[in-house]
Amino acid sequence: MVIPDITFHLAKENAQMALFSPYDVERVYGKPFADVAISQHYDELVADERIRKKYLNARDFFQRLAEIQFESGYPYIMYEDTVNRANPIAGA
């Protein structure tokens, strides 16, 4: 599971977080969902009516994720923005 920094900010505020349709994001942005920096474009994606989204509480998300991971060891987690900041290759 890939988790961007914005998820932590929303959980800290006990806010709702949006899950975006990868198909819609690719159609609107013209590039694969995985190539869009979610933390950087989050507010823009939320405001865009062309992109379908579902909302859930960010804290509830982390609580459920922790329960599932404790029970099974899965899913593996990658913190997207942390990995990108630590990448020594410029522009990657």
Angstrom distance (rounded) from CA 25 to CA 9 = 22
CATH number of 2-86: 1.10.1650.20
Say whether pTM exceeds 0.95: no
In the chain, the percentage of residues whose pLDDT exceeds 90 is 78
Strand partners, 79: 3
8 half-sphere exposure, CB direction, 13 A CA radius: 8
Report residue 47 as tokens. 């405001």
Strand partners, 53: 20
| Residue-wise pLDDT tens digits, 11-41 | 999 999 999 999 999 999 999 999 999 999 9
| Residue-wise pLDDT tens digits, 51-91 | 999 999 999 999 999 999 999 989 998 888 888 888 878 76
Residue in 59, 53, 43 with CA at minimum distance from that of residue 23 = 53
Angstrom distance (rounded) from CA 15 to CA 34 = 24
Per-domain residue ranges for the chain? Answer: 2-86
